[in-house]
Structure formats: structure tokens, C-alpha cells
Amino acid sequence: MLKQRVITALILAPLALFAILFLPIEGFKLVVAGVICLGAYEWANMSGITVRIFKGWFMVFIGFLCAILVISVDAEEIWQQGELHPLFAFCLWMAALWWTASLFMILAYPKYSSFWKDSIGIRAAFGVLTLIPTWVAIVSLRTSLYEVDPFYGASLLFYVLGIVWAADIGAFFVGVKFGKHKLRPNVSPGKSVEGLIGGIAASFAIIAFAAMHYQFEPSRIGIHVVIGAITVAVSALGDLNESMVKRCAGIKDSGKLLPGHGGVMDRIDSLTAAFPVFAFCYMLWMA
């Protein structure tokens, strides 16, 4: 299993690096939409849709929504004088509301969940609220200040990836060594409070490096650290949210596409929360 995970990671990492750094924006938007569509197929299964053709139709629907966004907003119109396009901004506001609601759902689970856990339609709608803002957030960050520095947006994406991956690694090792207090045992028995704290601590090395890289004014370092901490904390929320939906569907992995890793959603669950929330904070306080 470990060998498969390593091989898969060694294949995917260079592909992701190439897409972020070297694809033209329009091509990048389509590639990200493709990943989101793969996640949609798996989310359909997590929603309780078991017929393959219906899972395919849900994937097509998510792809259609991405296509509308691609057609409606040209790359050079995403940011205008430091302001995000209203359609994209609306999607990020919806993401902020969704992840706030998701937090309360996870804290309350399994109480007060009867209205949604047995409803295929509502769980599928959760997928829309999770996946579409992820596409919007990634594209918004990649195109930020593109006319000034074509790689500035790429550095923002790497920053989010860095702090989330650092948090995952820190949470794993601290959780294995010191984890005694379960974070949300009804949702994900393997997560611990100690692991969450260890993950946040590990991510602060990346946050501190970024503060020096972007040369924030001293008065803005505080808000930068807060946004980084929020992003890391909410990435754990994305993991727990997927675990909660999978638990309702009675499945362990979202899919089998990635050998050793499970499905696409199993790999991007943390990022589906981290990217939209970071992009939302960036839109409000950093752009």
C-alpha cells in the first residue's frame, strides 16, 4: 500500500506542478474543471447515487456549471482593479456560508442530521456547494495580479498547498504519537485533538516563510497569520465533512481511481475547504 501511495504521488506531483506553473490560464481552468468533475462522480456515489449513468449525469452537471463560469467570465475579467468579479465573489460568499453550516453539522452529528443524511438530493447539493467554489477559488487565486506577475497566483496556490500538506503531515505524526482525545469520533474516529494542534503548529513554519516572502507590512502580519491559521483549521473541516458524508453512504473510500490513495475526493477533501476559505479571506483582506 505504501509503495502504491509513493508511486502515485510521484506521478501526480509533477503533473500538478506543471499545470500550475506552465499551463495557459484557459487551459488551467479546464484542467481544474476536469479534476472537479472526477470528484463530482465520486461525490455522487457518496450521496447515495449507485447507478453509474446517474453518477455520470451528476458529473456532467458539475462540468456544465464550470463551463458556464468559464464562458461567463474571461480570465482578464476575473480581477478588475483588485476587485473579484461579482459572480466569482458570490460563489466564495456561498462557500463561506456552506463551511460555516458544515461546521455546525459536524459538531452536532449525528443529532439534527435526519433532514439530510437520508436525502440523496440534499447530499448531492452539498457536493455542488463543495466542488464549484473550489474551482472558483483555485482559478481566482491563479489569476490574481496575473498582469503584474504571471507566477504570483501560482505562489498563492503553492502557499495553500504547503500549509495544508504540512498540517496533514504534522497531524499524522503528532496524532499517532500523542493522540488521546478524539476530535469527532462519530464522524472520523482516527482524528484527534492533539493531531489537529500538531498540524496547525507544523503549518506555521510555512506561514512564517510566506510572511517573509510576500514582505507584509508589520501591521499586516497579524491578519496574515490569522488567515493562515483559519485556512489550516478549515482544511480539517473539509476532511471531516467528507468523512461524515461517506459514513452516511456506508463507504470507506470515495473511489479507487488513485492506487494507494483511494479516490480523488480522498486526496482533495481538505483542499475543497482550504482553497475557498483562503480565497474568501484573500478577497476581503489581502487583495
pLDDT (tens digit per residue) in 243-281: 899 988 888 888 777 665 578 998 899 999 999 999 999
What b/e readout covers 45-60, taking b as 16+ CB neighbours within 10 angstroms?
Answer: bbbbbeeeeebeebbe
Q: CB–CB of 32/135 below 8 Å? A: yes
Instruction: Write down the pTM of the prediction.
Output: 0.93
pLDDT tier at 185, thresholds 50, 70, 90: confident
245 and 126 Cβ atoms separated by less than 8 Å: yes
Q: Helix or strand or coil: residue 148?
A: coil
| Most confidently modeled range among 114-118, 139-143, 147-151, 232-236 | 139-143
- For residue 287, the model assigns a pLDDT of 66
Domain count, the chain: 1
| Res. 217 pLDDT band, cuts 50 70 90 | low
Tell me what pLDDT residue 254 has. 85
**% of the chain with per-residue pLDDT over 70:** 92
Q: Which three cell numbers stand for residue 246?
A: 461517506
pLDDT band for position 2 (cuts 50, 70, 90): very low
The cell for 69 is 463560469
- Parent domain of 155: 2-286
